Each structure stands twice: as structure tokens, then as C-alpha cells.
Amino acid sequence: MTDEPILKVTRESLASGTIMKMANERNDGAVDIASEDELYASRRRLVPDDADCSDIWIFGYGSLIFNPVVDYVEQAQARIFGNHRRFCLWTRLGRGSPDCPGLVLALDRGGSCAGIGFRLNPKNAIDELDLLWRREMITMAYRARWLTLHTPQGRKRGIGFVARPDRPNYAAPMPIEDEAGVIAAASGFIGPCREYLFDTVEALRAYGISDPHLENLTQHVKQRLASDGGVG
């Protein structure tokens, strides 16, 4: 577990480039970090600069639920089909380190996922998407895709961040004991991996969303921390 100061993910730390700067400083060369030009090009391929931004939604399934950061004008519970939430991305930066990688959530193939949809403010949606790309696409570990969000207000078209099995940081399914061990041990410059799990579960509970695997995983992580003498 690292003792370095924690940098919070905020609008300022993203817009100023501080997050990207710290990621580059801590990169041992094993992670490909996108340039500003690559981030903009990626966003433009999905949402051109001249796109109609009156009804753009973002699908939150992890940290976007408890720390959305973006400027939004509406939110709703939403479910997507064809993907499920899973700790399926290794992270050597952010919630892990080169010598002790962590795991973060992504949408993996199969099943369904309940989360929160956020409709971006149409007045500055493109700027908000660029901010979001600086947060989610810095290592291009995700594939940004249009998804169908099923909400109480009907179907909405939203952007979700899906795992890329072709990338080296994709994590295959593992026994829950191994998953818990990784999450209990790893930490990075934006915080401990365990905090990411606990905050996600707490946010899901606050919205009345049940995720049995994450609930079970939380108990395993707390047990591991207790047995190791860590903080539960």
C-alpha cells in the first residue's frame, strides 16, 4: 500500500491535466497513455464536434455514480443489456501501482447491468465529454460505445465504457478470493482500490440497486483486511 498523497478526481484535476501528468510520471513504460490529440480524436469518432447534444446520456456503473464530475441536467436509474459490471481491468496507475496493480470496473460481455444515467447539459456537452475522456480513456483500456439505457422514462441513447479484451490490461475472471486479495492490497495516486469498491457499493445501495457479487466481494475484502491487520 502506497503512502503517497491522494489526488482527488475533480473537474479541476482533470481539466488542468494534473491527472494525466501524474499518470505519466508514475508510468514505468508498461502502460500506453493517450495524448491530448488521441483523446480528442477518440471522442470525435463517437461524438463529432457538431453533433446534436440535446439528449446525450452517460451510463454510470462505478465511480461515475458516486463521483460523476460532469455537468448534467437530469439523472435516472438505468439498465443496459448485453454487458455486466465486473472488476476486469488491471490498473498500474490510479488505483494501483506498477509493483502492486489493482483492479477497476468495466462493462464486460454478457448479462445486464443496473446503474445511473446522466443527461449532459446540452449547453456544454462537448466540453463535458472531453473532460470525461480525460478521465476514462487515458489508457484507452475502454471502448466508448453507444448503449441503449432502459429507464423509467423510456429508452435513452447513452455512452458507456466497455472493456477491451484485446488490451493487455484486461483481467480474465478469477476466484473471488484472488479478486479480494488484489483489491485489498492495491493503492495508487487517486486512492486505495478497496475505497473504489466500497464507494461503489455504498452508492449502489443509496439508489436501491443490488449487486450481489460486489456485496460478496466487499465482505471478502473486509475479511482480508481484518486478517492482515488493515482497516476494514
4 is catalytic: no
Out of 128, 136, 179, 202, which one is annotated catalytic? 136
84's enclosing H/E stretch is: strand 72-91
Q: Which residues pair with 158 in a beta bridge?
A: 57, 147
DSSP 192-204: EHHHHHHHHHHHH
Q: Cα separation of 92 and 176, whole Å? A: 20
User: Are residues 13 and 7 in contact, defined by beta-carbon separation less than 8 angstroms?
Assistant: yes
- Contact predicate 100/194, CB 8 Å: no
Cell of residue 77, nine digits: 436509474
Cell of 178: 484472488
Q: Nearest-5° angle of CA 87, CA 129, CA 121? A: 115
Instruction: Give the DSSP per-residue string, 142-210.
Output: EEEEEEEEEETTEEEEEEEEEE-TTSTTB-----HHHHHHHHHH-EETTEEHHHHHHHHHHHHHHTT--
Cβ neighbours, 10 Å, residue 115: 26
- Catalytic site residues? 136
